[in-house]
Amino acid sequence: MIYNDAIPYHAPDIAQPGAMGHVWDIAYATRDDTMLRLLTLLSAIFFASAAAATSFWVDAPRDGYLNLRTGPSVQYQILGKMPHGSQVKLLEAPGKWVKVRHVSGLIGWTHSGFLTDRNPAKGHDRDPGHSRGQDYWIDAPRDGHLNLRNGPGQAYHVIEKMPHGAKARVIYKQDGWYKLTFGGKTGWASSRYLSERKPAAQHDRNPGHSAGQDYWIDAPRDGYLNLRNGPGQAYHVIEKMPHGAKARVIYKQDGWYKLVFDGRTGWASSRYLSDRKPAVHRDRDHDNGQVYWIDSPRNGRLNLRNGPGKGYKVIDKMAHGAKVRVLYKQDGWYKLTFDGKTGWANSHFLSDRKVKGNGKTNNKKGGKTFDSFEDAVAACKGVLGVDRQACLARNISRIK
């Protein structure tokens, strides 16, 4: 009995069973056969040493693979499993252990006793179907997709979402992870969700949230739902989806759904998505499209800005008593339409009841208003003497 990546156990440079005793592949061969194969290969390596990157094949028919390690010994960590019959390029040959580049792109060390200069016969993998180049299907009915990552573990970056029932081509396996190709991309996926048989159609525990199904925004309280560029509240908001609007769900992840809305793709909380069209929004203070009036008697008008905050640019002035149509709100700011323009205004100066006023700009103070003391002072910059004092007094009286 010998290690899958070493010559017989009694060889002086191979560790005896012990600390590493559970990690090997077993291949049966007589001592003479093994030594003959080793000497043949070493002679081939010797004569090819002057040539660059000589090709060899993995010859491990019983276990179906050969370990590729980080160094020239069984004491080193396993980088991957090289399938029987797969090709390697020889990079260094200082002894029985050689450095190779596998066809998958991985570079590491392996024992030359299981390499051959001729393409070997087809092996018999203990885990049939997971050999290099075999088609598999994504079997992830619960989530509707499987992550394709750029490395063999959950800590690696997700480079693609593979839908349930899609086909992928497995290259090789490593510790419960499979390297595969899907949609022209190569990456890693958990072997738990790969099947050699085509799975049944998806039956989600929460029916209706399967990939490609239409849903409605069900957010009557705020009147909208945020569409974000990632699955979490920390991600940037790229769009506001009104209550009652329709979106197409692609797949879900940890309480968040990836969807397409108005030509944009993003993420939204599944709490506010429904597979049934919701009732009309009747929250009087947050209604979509409800009529409001500007209630700013002190200054006579209210700024319409291009964003929800005082730092955004003023695009128009809305007179006290003017009528506007509110779309939705965000943190004390309302998005609304006024005189053909769409922008944001401070909700403190909006009323859902008609206020006294003709809706025309009050010019008694010159029409200029300020949102803060700093703005009022900045407007008087460069004014000297008594004129500057008068400017400050005038501007401070116009602060909203």
**Model confidence band, residue 265 (pLDDT cutoffs 50, 70, 90):** confident
pLDDT of res. 273: 92
Tokens 């060390």 correspond to what residue? 109
Percent of the chain past pLDDT 90, that is, above it, reads 12
Rounded average pLDDT over 248-258: 83
As a whole number of angstroms, the distance between CA 262 and CA 182 comes to: 28
Q: What pLDDT score was predicted for residue 103? A: 87
Closest by CA position to 161, among listed 250, 255, 237, 260 = 250
pLDDT band at residue 113 under the 50/70/90 scheme:
confident
pLDDT for residue 12: 33
Of 76-85, 214-223, 391-400, the one with minimum mean pLDDT is 391-400
Give the rounded distance of the alpha carbon of 228 from its chain centre. 12
Angstrom distance (rounded) from CA 331 to CA 346: 9
Asked if 241 and 268 touch (Cβ cutoff 8 Å), the reply is yes
Q: Can you give the pLDDT at residue 82? A: 86
Residue 143: is its pLDDT beyond 90?
no
Position 46 scores a pLDDT of 53
Question: In terms of Cα–Cα distance, which of 295, 311, 308 is closest to 335?
Answer: 308
Band of residue 69 on the pLDDT scale cut at 50, 70, 90: very high
SS3 at position 382 = coil
Residue 230's SS3 state is: coil
Least trusted range by pLDDT, from 10-24, 60-74, 220-234:
10-24
| Average of per-residue pLDDT across 238-264 | 84
Between 299 and 149, the more confident residue is: 149
Range in 81-90, 268-277, 363-372 with the lowest mean pLDDT = 363-372
104 three-state secondary structure: coil
pLDDT at 155 over 70: yes
How far CA 113 is from CA of 39, 77, 236, 315, 363, in Å, comes to 9, 19, 55, 77, 95
Q: What's this model's pTM, rounded to 2 decimal places?
A: 0.28
Q: What's the mean pLDDT when you consider all of the chain?
A: 75
pLDDT digits (tens, 9 = 90+) for 275-316: 888 876 544 434 457 889 998 888 788 999 988 888 888 888
Mean pLDDT of 164-186: 85
Q: Which residue has the higher pLDDT, 369 or 302?
A: 302
Three-state secondary structure call for residue 177: strand
For tokens 């072997």, the residue is 191
Mean pLDDT value of segment 25-54: 52
What is the per-residue pLDDT for 34? 57
Q: ∠ CA 180-184-189 to the nearest 5 degrees? A: 25
Mean local confidence (pLDDT), 173-190: 86
57, 115 contact by CB (below 8 A): yes
Closest CA to 279 of 327, 325, 221, 218: 218
Asked if the model's pLDDT at residue 206 lies above 50, the reply is no
Instruction: Determine which of 5-14, 133-142, 312-321, 346-355 has the lowest per-residue pLDDT on average.
Output: 5-14
Whether 108 shows a pLDDT value over 90: the answer reads: yes
Confidence band of 194 (pLDDT split at 50, 70, 90) = very high
* 123-127, 231-235, 302-306, 384-388: range with highest mean pLDDT: 302-306
Q: What's the pLDDT tens digit per position in 13-37?
A: 333 333 333 333 333 344 555 555 6
Q: Which two tokens stand for residue 144?
A: 């509707």
Q: Are 156 and 145 in contact (CB under 8 A)?
A: no
CA distance 161 to 242: 27
> In the prediction, which pLDDT does 400 show?
61
What is the structure's pLDDT at 363? 41
**% the chain with pLDDT above 70:** 71
According to the model, what pLDDT value does residue 144 have?
76
Closest residue by Cα to residue 25 from 1, 54, 58: 1
Q: How far apart are CA 171 and CA 168, in angstroms?
A: 10
pLDDT of 1 reads 38
pLDDT tens figures, 331-368: 788 888 888 888 889 988 998 888 877 666 544 444 56
